[in-house]
Chains A and B, each alone.
Chain A
Amino acid sequence: MNFVESTEQLELRKAVAAMAQGFGKDYFRTEAREGRSGREIWLEAGRLGYLGVNLPEKFGGGGAGIYELALVLEELAASGCPLLMMVVSPAICGTIISRFGTEEQKEQWLPGIADGSKIMAFAITEPDAGSNAHQITTTAHPAPDGGWLLSGRKVFISGVDHADAVMVVGRTSSAEGYLRPALFIVPTADIEYQPIAMELVSTEKQFMVFLDEVALPASAIVGGADADLQQLFAGLNPERIMAAAFSVGLGRYALARAAAYMKERSVWGTPIGAHQGLAHPLAQAAIEIELAKLMMQKAACLYDSGDDRAAGEAANMAKYAAAEAAVRAVDQAVHSLGGNGMTVEYGLAHLVNVARVSRVAPVSREMILNFVAQQKLGLPKSY
Chain B
Amino acid sequence: MKIVVLVKQVPDSGAERNLRPDDNTVDRSSANNVINEMDEYAIEEALRLQEAHGGEVTILTMGPERASESIRKALSMGPDGAVHVLDNALSGTDALGTSRVLAAALQRINPDVVLCGAESTDAGGQVLPHMLAERLGIAALTGARKLTVEGSQLTIERQTEEGYEVVTAATPAVVSVWDTINEPRYPSFKGIMAAKKKPVETLSLADLGVSAEQVGWTGALTGVASHSKRPPRSAGQKVADSGEGGVQLVEFLTNEKFV
Contacts and interface: CB of A to CB of B under 8 A. Distances in A.
B123 to A, nearest CB: 24
Contacts of B193: 8, 62, 64
A49 B189 contact: yes
Contacts of A287: none
Interface string A1-39: 000000110011001001100100000000000000000
B120 interface: no
B196 A12 contact: no
B164 interface: no
Nearest to B73: A11
Contacts of A64: 189, 193
B190 A11 contact: no
A191 interface: no
A6 to B, nearest CB: 10
Interface in B180-234: 186-190, 192-193, 195-196
Contacts of A22: 186
B196 A49 contact: no
Contacts of B192: 8, 11-12, 15
Count chain B CB atoms within 10 A of each CB in A18, A22, A48, A50 and give the residue with the most. A48
B61 interface: no
A62 B189 CA distance: 7
B67 to A, nearest CB: 15
A53 interface: yes
A120 B222 CA distance: 62
A68 B72 CA distance: 19
A11 B73 CA distance: 8
Given A7-B72, A7-B196, A19 B189 contact: no
Contacts of A47: 188
B199 to A, nearest CB: 17
- Secondary structure at the B interface, as helix, strand, loop or mixed, is helix
A126 B192 CA distance: 42
A53 B187 CA distance: 13
Nearest to A47: B188
B76 interface: yes
A50 B192 CA distance: 11
B186 A11 contact: no
Contacts of B73: 11
Contacts of B196: 7-8
Interface string A47-72: 11110010000000010100010000
Contacts of B76: 11, 15
A62 B190 contact: yes
Interface string B70-107: 00110010000000000000000000000000000000
Given A7-B196, A8-B196, A50 B72 contact: no
A12 B191 CA distance: 10
Nearest to B185: A48
A39 to B, nearest CB: 18
Nearest to B77: A15
Nearest to B69: A7
B65 to A, nearest CB: 15
Interface in B120-158: none
B186 A49 contact: no
Nearest to A72: B189
Interface string B5-40: 000000000000000000000000000000000000
Count chain A CB atoms within 10 A of each CB in B73, B76, B190, B193 and give the residue with the most. B193
Given A7-B196, A8-B196, A62-B193, A48 B188 contact: yes
A19 B195 CA distance: 18
Interface string A289-316: 0000000000000000000000000000
Contacts of B187: 11, 15, 48
A12 B193 CA distance: 9
Contacts of B190: 49, 62
Contacts of A15: 76, 186-189, 192
Contact of B189 (A7, A18, A48): A48
Count chain A CB atoms within 10 A of each CB in B186, B190, B193 and give the residue with the most. B186
A40 to B, nearest CB: 14
A47 B188 CA distance: 8
Contacts of A18: 186
Interface of B: 72-73, 76, 186-190, 192-193, 195-196
23 contacts: A7-B72, A7-B196, A8-B193, A8-B196, A11-B73, A11-B187, A11-B192, A12-B189, A15-B76, A15-B186, A15-B187, A15-B188, A15-B189, A22-B186, A48-B186, A48-B188, A48-B189, A49-B188, A49-B189, A50-B188, A50-B189, A53-B189, A64-B193
A-B pairs, 6 with minimum CB distance: A49-B189, A48-B188, A62-B189, A19-B186, A15-B187, A49-B188
